[in-house]
Amino acid sequence: MHGTVILQSSDKMERYIKICPKCGSIDIKEELDNPAKVRLGAPLDFICQACGFKAKIFPEVKEEEIEEFRKKLKQ
């Protein structure tokens, strides 16, 4: 799954998932449409596949907190 970060402390592992701050989707991909950026190692944009929101940084939330994040977006 794209956008998943796993952090491990001495006692447990936590999964953090990139989530769209606009629609709450977790279907986030790196935008690889500019080969020059990729070759040069320039920062890539991320894009939400559900709504098209694009940014360099997307929030990451714990896997078990995704629904709570989505509820806050609707408020």
Rounded Cα distance between 24 and 19, Å, is: 6
Four-residue CA torsion sign, 38, 59, 25, 12: positive
In the chain, the number of structural domains is 1
Range of the domain at 50: 4-74
| The predicted structure's pLDDT at residue 1 | 46
pLDDT values of the chain reduced to their tens digit, one per residue, 75 residues: 456 555 555 567 788 999 999 999 999 999 888 778 778 878 889 999 999 999 999 999 999 999 999 999 988
Full 3-state SS string of the chain = CCCEEEEECCCCEEEEEECCCCCCCCCEEECCCCHHHHHHCCCCCEEECCCCCEECCCCEEEHHHHHHHHHHHHC
